[in-house]
A and B are shown apart, each in its own frame.
Chain A
């Protein structure tokens, strides 16, 4: 049995079937062609220019799908996304999210036993962090499956861990103290309902940028 919640305030968020069993190695370009979630308006503050159809245009003028089409250069794409992440203030804190993702990609690539970092998981992580700006900068690690995991852990009793699965669902674990015990739950849900799913556990007490450090 998976570790979906079985006790206490039971939550079972096995609500989204995998779209496909495709865990291809990192290829953000392909991913974002499929899901244009990261399209941002000029309000996002992007500064980078990209060569589209022979002419240079500001990233703020194009969709992410176009961006991935414009270049297969992973470094350039990461560099561009870095501009994006810096515009999202909540994840612009050091150590930089993208630098860490790049480091994890390197760790996995250097180890023949390990899979490559999953592009869809990276995309889901970036999207989550850029659209949940009230979260502190997380610890970011990688699973043995090549998926990205973000963790906000204050101590043994305060832990929110999210694994970003390639189908864009989230596998979360919460340890949250009450006055009498520590509630420990896990579950899987889509990104859309995640905030609702963890709401009862008041994780913002240690994950929020407004929480005491």
Chain B
């Protein structure tokens, strides 16, 4: 439901554009988790909210959702998965001012699992790096 805080045990996914992915490792970098200047939160998807039985089916569901987005998902883009609780802990421990992130459900008509990471700004590159370090798995944004 709109405004619900996502439980620490749950997982979220961020679509990472090719411009932000390391050429040497294929992994998302901090640039994948930076806000634009006019953004209040970082867009993510709440995977458990998709009500699927496996990570694979969650990602497949996400791929379908992203087909309806105004931008085209790139062939080399990836979905990065992070655990909510571990990411929050990593940022609290690693950020100089012990930033507390909030993961909030922000559903949209055509994207019911849409959510946001709140609590940092477009200038806080260190936090973006900490979030990138919390990525536990990645999946091709387009099925190959």
- CB within 8 Å of B: which residues of A? 1-3, 5-8, 95, 100, 104, 107-108, 110-114, 139-145, 149, 151, 153, 156, 159, 161, 163, 171, 173, 175, 182, 184-186
- Assuming the contacts A1-B97, A5-B96, asked whether A142 and B31 have C-beta atoms less than 8 A apart, the reply is yes
- Assuming the contacts A143-B34, A159-B129, asked whether A2 and B123 have C-beta atoms less than 8 A apart, the reply is yes
| Residues of A close to B124: CB separation below 8 A | 2-3, 186
Q: For the complex formed, measure the closest distance between the CB of B80 and the CB atoms of chain A, giving whole angstroms.
A: 14
Identify which of B94, B122, B123 gathers the most chain A CB atoms within 10 Å of its CB.
Answer: B123
Q: For the complex formed, measure the closest distance between the CB of A62 and the CB atoms of chain B, giving whole angstroms.
A: 32
What total of A-B pairs shows CB separation below 8 Å?
100
| Residues of A close to B70: CB separation below 8 A | 112-113
A173 near B23 with CB under 8 A, answer no
| Residues of B close to A107: CB separation below 8 A | 17-19, 74
Q: How far is the CA of A3 from the CA of B122 in the complex (A)?
A: 10
B126 near A142 with CB under 8 A, answer no
> A111 contacts which of B74, B97, B121 (Cβ < 8 Å)?
B74
B19 near A145 with CB under 8 A, answer no
Q: How far is the CA of A100 from the CA of B24 in the complex (A)?
A: 12
Closest chain B residue to A104 by CB distance? B19
B30 within 8 A of A: yes
B97 near A6 with CB under 8 A, answer yes
A184 near B29 with CB under 8 A, answer no
| Residues of A close to B22: CB separation below 8 A | 139, 141, 151, 153
Q: How far is the CA of A165 from the CA of B17 in the complex (A)?
A: 20
Identify which of B18, B25, B95, B122 gathers the most chain A CB atoms within 10 Å of its CB.
Answer: B18
**Residue contacts A-B, CB under 8 angstroms, 16 given:** A2-B123, A3-B123, A107-B74, A139-B29, A141-B20, A142-B20, A144-B122, A145-B37, A153-B22, A161-B125, A175-B94, A184-B94, A184-B96, A185-B96, A186-B125, A186-B126
| Residues of B close to A141: CB separation below 8 A | 19-22, 29, 31
Q: How far is the CA of A12 from the CA of B70 in the complex (A)?
A: 40
Given A141-B21, A161-B30, 13 further pairs, Cβ under 8 A? A3-B123, A3-B124, A8-B96, A111-B17, A113-B71, A143-B31, A149-B31, A151-B30, A156-B133, A182-B94, A184-B96, A185-B96, A185-B126
B12 within 8 A of A: no
B125 near A173 with CB under 8 A, answer yes
8 A Cβ contacts from B4-34 to A: 17-25, 29-31, 34
| Residues of A close to B55: CB separation below 8 A | none
B125 near A145 with CB under 8 A, answer no
